[in-house]
Amino acid sequence: MSVVRVESFSISVDGFGAGPNQDLAHPLGVGGGQLHEWAMATKTFRKQVLGKDGGTTGVDEDFAARGFKNVGAWILGRNMFGPIRGAWPDDAWKGWWGDEPSYHAPVFVLTHHPRESIVMKGGTTFHFITDGIERALELAKDAANGMDVRVGGGAATIRQYLRAGLIDEMHFAISPVMLGSGESLFDGIDMLSLGYKRVEHANTPTATHIVLRKERS
């Protein structure tokens, strides 16, 4: 059965999943890049995102690697796809990731503004969904064909899916930095009342890894 997962989502000690003032120069908001230092040196990040060999092994690599296993489709928020707000001015912007994004699967982008799908190299196709999170998840599950759906973020998109009780499992990495402001992951969210329990945790010099799972009724 397809599982809806959040994987390798990094947050600060004070609970922010991105820094403030996201723009072209600061894709993760001011200071947000610090959150992902645990992942950047791993073999998986270097291969999947940078297209390079080498990288670290160990606990951080284990969590990074399993985040890509059995993923058949992705869901992203509009802000995760890019810094453009409002109606699309043209079709020039195709994401932060160059001609061959690291997803290698269908990606469903939540937006209020229609846009034609974009076929990229390496098996990634961006689809733009204007009729809500449930519809995006329905399409993602169909595209995943029995594999899992990964909700990639950002924080606001994850909060929507959490409130709706649609995320089965969530791995996040607490990085040892504070941002002071930005996108709060758990703002207004009561994880206990939503049925989530901690099922795994591990510490490394660069992150504390936590896995939460929703109890099935």
Round to whole Å and give the CA distance between 176 and 172: 13
In a domain, 112, yes or no: no
CATH number, domain of 197, equals 3.40.430.10
- Is residue 114 one of the residues assigned to a domain? no
Q: How many domains does the chain have?
A: 1
Cβ contact 38:175 at 8 Å: yes
Residue 206 inside a domain? The answer is: yes
Residue 124 lies inside a defined structural domain of this protein: no
Contact 34, 182 (CB under 8 A): no
Q: Which residues of the chain register pLDDT less than 50?
A: none
pLDDT at 23: 84
Q: How far apart are CA 58 and CA 60, in angstroms?
A: 6
pLDDT in tens, 51-77: 788 999 999 999 999 999 999 999 999
Distance between CA 152 and CA 140 in Å, rounded?
12
* pLDDT tens digits, 75-104: 999 999 998 889 999 999 999 988 999 999
Q: Is residue 174 part of a domain?
A: yes
Separation of alpha carbons 202 and 53, rounded Å: 26
For 197, the token pair is: 């329990």
Which pLDDT does position 50 carry in this prediction?
77
For CA atoms 95, 147, 130, 80, the dihedral sign is negative
Q: Which domain holds residue 59?
A: 4-19+27-85+133-210
In a domain, 102, yes or no: no
> Is there a domain that residue 123 lies in?
no
- Does residue 12 form part of some domain? yes
d(Cα 64, Cα 199) in Å, to the nearest integer?
Answer: 17
